[in-house]
Amino acid sequence: MTNSVPTIALNDGHTIPQLGFGVFKVEPTETTRIVSDALEVGYRHIDTAAIYGNEEGVGKALATSGIDRSELFITTKLWNDDQGTQSALDAFDASLEKLGLDYVDLYLIHWPTPAKDRYVESWKTLAQIRESGRARSIGVSNFLVPHLERIISETDVVPAVNQIELHPAGQQAEVAAFSRQHGMQIEAWGPLGQGKYPLLEEPVVTAAAEAHGKTPAQVVIRWHLQSGNIVFPKSNRRERMAENFDVFDFELSNTELATITALERGGRVGSHPNEVN
Protein backbone atom coordinates (compact mmCIF):
# COMPACT_ATOMS: atom_id res chain seq x y z
CA MET A 1 0.00 0.00 0.00
CA THR A 2 1.22 3.50 -0.78
CA ASN A 3 2.90 4.59 2.43
CA SER A 4 1.37 8.04 2.72
CA VAL A 5 -2.24 6.85 2.76
CA PRO A 6 -3.54 5.84 6.19
CA THR A 7 -5.73 2.78 6.55
CA ILE A 8 -8.86 2.37 8.64
CA ALA A 9 -9.80 -0.84 10.41
CA LEU A 10 -13.09 -2.44 9.38
CA ASN A 11 -15.34 -4.43 11.70
CA ASP A 12 -14.42 -7.72 9.98
CA GLY A 13 -10.68 -7.54 10.61
CA HIS A 14 -9.71 -6.09 7.24
CA THR A 15 -8.43 -2.58 6.59
CA ILE A 16 -9.25 -0.01 3.92
CA PRO A 17 -7.13 2.84 2.54
CA GLN A 18 -8.75 6.09 3.67
CA LEU A 19 -8.11 7.86 0.36
CA GLY A 20 -9.04 6.27 -2.94
CA PHE A 21 -10.03 7.05 -6.50
CA GLY A 22 -13.61 6.96 -7.78
CA VAL A 23 -14.71 6.31 -11.37
CA PHE A 24 -18.32 7.51 -11.25
CA LYS A 25 -19.22 8.96 -14.68
CA VAL A 26 -15.83 8.02 -16.14
CA GLU A 27 -16.45 7.07 -19.75
CA PRO A 28 -15.82 3.34 -20.35
CA THR A 29 -13.56 4.11 -23.31
CA GLU A 30 -11.40 6.37 -21.11
CA THR A 31 -11.41 4.29 -17.95
CA THR A 32 -8.26 2.24 -18.52
CA ARG A 33 -6.18 5.36 -19.21
CA ILE A 34 -7.64 7.30 -16.30
CA VAL A 35 -7.29 4.50 -13.76
CA SER A 36 -3.76 3.78 -15.00
CA ASP A 37 -2.91 7.43 -14.36
CA ALA A 38 -4.41 7.20 -10.87
CA LEU A 39 -2.39 4.10 -10.07
CA GLU A 40 0.78 5.79 -11.29
CA VAL A 41 0.03 8.79 -9.08
CA GLY A 42 -0.14 6.42 -6.12
CA TYR A 43 -3.77 5.49 -5.58
CA ARG A 44 -4.35 1.87 -4.59
CA HIS A 45 -8.03 2.03 -3.64
CA ILE A 46 -10.39 2.10 -6.65
CA ASP A 47 -14.18 2.47 -6.29
CA THR A 48 -16.39 1.40 -9.19
CA ALA A 49 -19.88 -0.08 -9.68
CA ALA A 50 -21.72 -2.29 -12.12
CA ILE A 51 -23.97 0.58 -13.22
CA TYR A 52 -20.97 2.75 -14.13
CA GLY A 53 -20.31 0.47 -17.10
CA ASN A 54 -16.56 0.74 -16.64
CA GLU A 55 -15.56 -2.30 -14.56
CA GLU A 56 -13.85 -3.83 -17.59
CA GLY A 57 -11.73 -0.71 -18.07
CA VAL A 58 -10.77 -0.76 -14.41
CA GLY A 59 -9.79 -4.40 -14.75
CA LYS A 60 -7.56 -3.72 -17.74
CA ALA A 61 -5.79 -0.94 -15.86
CA LEU A 62 -5.21 -3.23 -12.89
CA ALA A 63 -3.94 -6.05 -15.11
CA THR A 64 -1.39 -3.87 -16.88
CA SER A 65 -0.27 -1.91 -13.81
CA GLY A 66 2.29 -4.41 -12.56
CA ILE A 67 1.03 -3.77 -9.04
CA ASP A 68 0.64 -6.83 -6.84
CA ARG A 69 -2.99 -7.68 -6.09
CA SER A 70 -2.29 -7.58 -2.36
CA GLU A 71 -1.50 -3.86 -2.63
CA LEU A 72 -4.86 -3.01 -4.23
CA PHE A 73 -8.26 -2.40 -2.68
CA ILE A 74 -11.10 -2.75 -5.19
CA THR A 75 -14.76 -1.94 -4.54
CA THR A 76 -17.75 -2.56 -6.78
CA LYS A 77 -21.49 -2.51 -6.22
CA LEU A 78 -24.70 -4.46 -6.84
CA TRP A 79 -27.13 -2.51 -8.99
CA ASN A 80 -30.80 -2.06 -8.10
CA ASP A 81 -32.21 -4.25 -10.89
CA ASP A 82 -30.04 -7.17 -9.75
CA GLN A 83 -31.20 -7.28 -6.16
CA GLY A 84 -32.39 -10.67 -4.97
CA THR A 85 -30.66 -13.98 -4.41
CA GLN A 86 -29.70 -15.62 -7.70
CA SER A 87 -29.73 -12.34 -9.56
CA ALA A 88 -27.27 -10.87 -7.06
CA LEU A 89 -25.01 -13.90 -7.35
CA ASP A 90 -25.08 -13.64 -11.13
CA ALA A 91 -24.38 -9.90 -11.02
CA PHE A 92 -21.44 -10.45 -8.70
CA ASP A 93 -20.00 -13.11 -11.01
CA ALA A 94 -20.34 -10.71 -13.93
CA SER A 95 -18.55 -7.95 -12.04
CA LEU A 96 -15.68 -10.25 -11.07
CA GLU A 97 -15.30 -11.36 -14.67
CA LYS A 98 -15.25 -7.80 -16.00
CA LEU A 99 -12.72 -6.76 -13.36
CA GLY A 100 -10.60 -9.82 -14.11
CA LEU A 101 -10.27 -10.58 -10.42
CA ASP A 102 -10.66 -13.62 -8.20
CA TYR A 103 -12.11 -11.48 -5.42
CA VAL A 104 -13.03 -7.91 -4.59
CA ASP A 105 -12.05 -6.23 -1.37
CA LEU A 106 -15.48 -4.67 -0.85
CA TYR A 107 -18.89 -5.37 -2.37
CA LEU A 108 -21.77 -2.99 -1.70
CA ILE A 109 -25.52 -2.88 -2.24
CA HIS A 110 -25.68 0.33 -4.27
CA TRP A 111 -29.09 1.61 -3.07
CA PRO A 112 -31.70 0.16 -0.71
CA THR A 113 -34.49 0.63 -3.31
CA PRO A 114 -37.17 0.29 -0.61
CA ALA A 115 -40.06 0.06 -3.10
CA LYS A 116 -38.60 -3.24 -4.36
CA ASP A 117 -38.10 -4.44 -0.77
CA ARG A 118 -35.34 -6.87 -1.72
CA TYR A 119 -32.44 -5.34 0.15
CA VAL A 120 -32.65 -7.76 3.10
CA GLU A 121 -32.63 -10.74 0.73
CA SER A 122 -29.74 -9.16 -1.15
CA TRP A 123 -27.85 -8.52 2.08
CA LYS A 124 -28.14 -12.20 3.00
CA THR A 125 -26.70 -13.02 -0.43
CA LEU A 126 -23.77 -10.66 0.10
CA ALA A 127 -23.09 -12.42 3.38
CA GLN A 128 -22.87 -15.71 1.45
CA ILE A 129 -20.49 -14.12 -1.04
CA ARG A 130 -18.29 -12.92 1.81
CA GLU A 131 -18.29 -16.41 3.33
CA SER A 132 -17.10 -17.77 -0.01
CA GLY A 133 -14.07 -15.47 0.15
CA ARG A 134 -14.85 -13.80 -3.15
CA ALA A 135 -15.62 -10.52 -1.38
CA ARG A 136 -13.43 -9.88 1.61
CA SER A 137 -15.74 -7.25 3.05
CA ILE A 138 -19.36 -6.33 2.38
CA GLY A 139 -21.28 -3.15 2.96
CA VAL A 140 -24.04 -0.89 1.79
CA SER A 141 -24.41 2.43 0.03
CA ASN A 142 -27.05 5.11 0.55
CA PHE A 143 -28.70 3.25 3.42
CA LEU A 144 -30.62 5.34 5.94
CA VAL A 145 -31.12 4.41 9.59
CA PRO A 146 -34.34 2.36 9.06
CA HIS A 147 -32.67 0.35 6.29
CA LEU A 148 -29.63 -0.31 8.47
CA GLU A 149 -31.73 -1.27 11.48
CA ARG A 150 -33.65 -3.77 9.41
CA ILE A 151 -30.74 -5.60 7.79
CA ILE A 152 -28.91 -5.83 11.11
CA SER A 153 -31.93 -7.08 13.03
CA GLU A 154 -32.92 -9.62 10.37
CA THR A 155 -29.46 -11.00 9.60
CA ASP A 156 -27.15 -10.17 12.54
CA VAL A 157 -24.58 -9.12 9.90
CA VAL A 158 -23.33 -5.55 10.32
CA PRO A 159 -22.03 -3.85 7.16
CA ALA A 160 -18.35 -2.99 7.15
CA VAL A 161 -19.10 0.39 5.56
CA ASN A 162 -21.98 2.63 4.60
CA GLN A 163 -21.14 4.74 1.56
CA ILE A 164 -23.27 7.88 1.64
CA GLU A 165 -23.42 11.30 0.06
CA LEU A 166 -21.36 13.47 2.41
CA HIS A 167 -19.79 16.89 1.99
CA PRO A 168 -19.69 20.03 4.16
CA ALA A 169 -23.15 21.31 3.20
CA GLY A 170 -24.76 17.86 3.54
CA GLN A 171 -23.21 15.70 6.23
CA GLN A 172 -26.09 13.33 7.04
CA ALA A 173 -25.21 13.48 10.73
CA GLU A 174 -27.93 11.07 11.87
CA VAL A 175 -27.05 8.21 9.53
CA ALA A 176 -23.31 8.82 9.94
CA ALA A 177 -23.59 8.70 13.73
CA PHE A 178 -25.79 5.59 13.70
CA SER A 179 -23.40 3.84 11.32
CA ARG A 180 -20.36 4.60 13.43
CA GLN A 181 -22.10 3.66 16.67
CA HIS A 182 -22.77 0.23 15.17
CA GLY A 183 -19.23 -0.30 13.91
CA MET A 184 -19.63 0.77 10.29
CA GLN A 185 -17.11 3.07 8.65
CA ILE A 186 -18.37 5.99 6.57
CA GLU A 187 -17.37 6.40 2.93
CA ALA A 188 -18.19 9.81 1.49
CA TRP A 189 -19.37 10.03 -2.10
CA GLY A 190 -19.64 13.44 -3.73
CA PRO A 191 -17.04 14.67 -1.21
CA LEU A 192 -16.64 18.03 -2.95
CA GLY A 193 -20.36 18.50 -3.55
CA GLN A 194 -20.06 17.50 -7.22
CA GLY A 195 -19.66 21.17 -8.13
CA LYS A 196 -23.37 21.75 -7.46
CA TYR A 197 -22.79 24.55 -4.97
CA PRO A 198 -19.85 26.95 -4.49
CA LEU A 199 -18.14 24.93 -1.75
CA LEU A 200 -14.66 25.77 -2.95
CA GLU A 201 -15.47 29.48 -2.77
CA GLU A 202 -16.66 29.43 0.83
CA PRO A 203 -14.58 31.95 2.84
CA VAL A 204 -13.73 29.44 5.58
CA VAL A 205 -12.44 27.01 2.95
CA THR A 206 -10.45 29.57 0.98
CA ALA A 207 -8.99 31.03 4.20
CA ALA A 208 -7.76 27.60 5.28
CA ALA A 209 -6.35 27.00 1.82
CA GLU A 210 -4.42 30.25 1.94
CA ALA A 211 -3.17 29.56 5.46
CA HIS A 212 -1.73 26.17 4.48
CA GLY A 213 -0.61 26.93 0.93
CA LYS A 214 -3.11 24.42 -0.45
CA THR A 215 -6.07 24.51 -2.81
CA PRO A 216 -9.66 24.68 -1.53
CA ALA A 217 -10.26 21.13 -2.81
CA GLN A 218 -7.27 19.85 -0.85
CA VAL A 219 -8.64 21.54 2.26
CA VAL A 220 -12.04 19.84 1.89
CA ILE A 221 -10.41 16.44 1.29
CA ARG A 222 -8.31 17.03 4.39
CA TRP A 223 -11.47 17.89 6.35
CA HIS A 224 -12.91 14.52 5.33
CA LEU A 225 -9.77 12.65 6.35
CA GLN A 226 -9.51 14.34 9.74
CA SER A 227 -13.23 13.74 10.27
CA GLY A 228 -12.64 10.00 9.85
CA ASN A 229 -14.34 9.63 6.47
CA ILE A 230 -13.08 7.36 3.72
CA VAL A 231 -13.01 9.45 0.58
CA PHE A 232 -12.37 8.85 -3.13
CA PRO A 233 -12.44 12.02 -5.24
CA LYS A 234 -12.72 11.59 -8.97
CA SER A 235 -10.93 13.45 -11.75
CA ASN A 236 -10.13 12.73 -15.38
CA ARG A 237 -7.00 14.91 -15.24
CA ARG A 238 -3.75 13.50 -13.96
CA GLU A 239 -2.63 16.80 -12.45
CA ARG A 240 -5.85 17.04 -10.45
CA MET A 241 -5.48 13.41 -9.35
CA ALA A 242 -2.02 14.27 -8.03
CA GLU A 243 -3.36 17.38 -6.31
CA ASN A 244 -6.12 15.40 -4.59
CA PHE A 245 -3.52 12.87 -3.44
CA ASP A 246 -1.21 15.55 -1.99
CA VAL A 247 -3.08 16.02 1.27
CA PHE A 248 -0.88 14.36 3.87
CA ASP A 249 1.66 17.11 4.53
CA PHE A 250 -0.62 19.50 6.41
CA GLU A 251 -3.25 19.40 9.10
CA LEU A 252 -6.28 21.57 9.69
CA SER A 253 -6.65 23.12 13.12
CA ASN A 254 -9.61 22.30 15.34
CA THR A 255 -11.01 25.76 14.56
CA GLU A 256 -10.67 25.21 10.82
CA LEU A 257 -12.36 21.83 11.09
CA ALA A 258 -15.20 23.31 13.10
CA THR A 259 -15.82 26.20 10.71
CA ILE A 260 -16.00 23.84 7.74
CA THR A 261 -18.30 21.49 9.65
CA ALA A 262 -20.51 24.49 10.38
CA LEU A 263 -21.26 24.77 6.63
CA GLU A 264 -23.89 22.07 7.16
CA ARG A 265 -27.29 23.07 5.80
CA GLY A 266 -28.91 19.80 4.77
CA GLY A 267 -27.80 20.42 1.21
CA ARG A 268 -28.21 17.06 -0.49
CA VAL A 269 -27.01 17.27 -4.12
CA GLY A 270 -27.88 13.71 -5.12
CA SER A 271 -31.04 11.61 -4.99
CA HIS A 272 -32.79 10.74 -1.75
CA PRO A 273 -32.37 7.03 -0.96
CA ASN A 274 -36.10 6.51 -0.48
CA GLU A 275 -36.75 7.79 -3.98
CA VAL A 276 -34.30 5.63 -5.94
CA ASN A 277 -36.05 2.45 -7.01
> Where in the sequence numbering do the catalytic residues fall?
52
Residue 23: name the closest of 13, 14, 32 by CA.
Answer: 32
Which residues are within 8 A (CB) of 176 and not within 5 positions of it... i.e. 6 or more apart?
Answer: 164, 166, 186
* Longest CA span, the chain: 54
Residue type, 179: S
Residues 191 and 231 sit within 8 Å (Cβ to Cβ): yes
Count of beta carbons in the 10 Å neighbourhood of residue 69: 11
Residues 52 and 39 sit within 8 Å (Cβ to Cβ): no
Report, in angstroms and rounded to the nearest whole number, the Rg of the chain calculated over CA atoms.
Answer: 18
In the chain, the DSSP E strands lie at 7-9, 15-17, 21-22, 45-47, 73-78, 104-109, 135-141, 161-165, 185-189, 230-231
Q: What percent of the chain is helix, strand and coil (3-state, nearest 5)?
A: 45, 15, 40
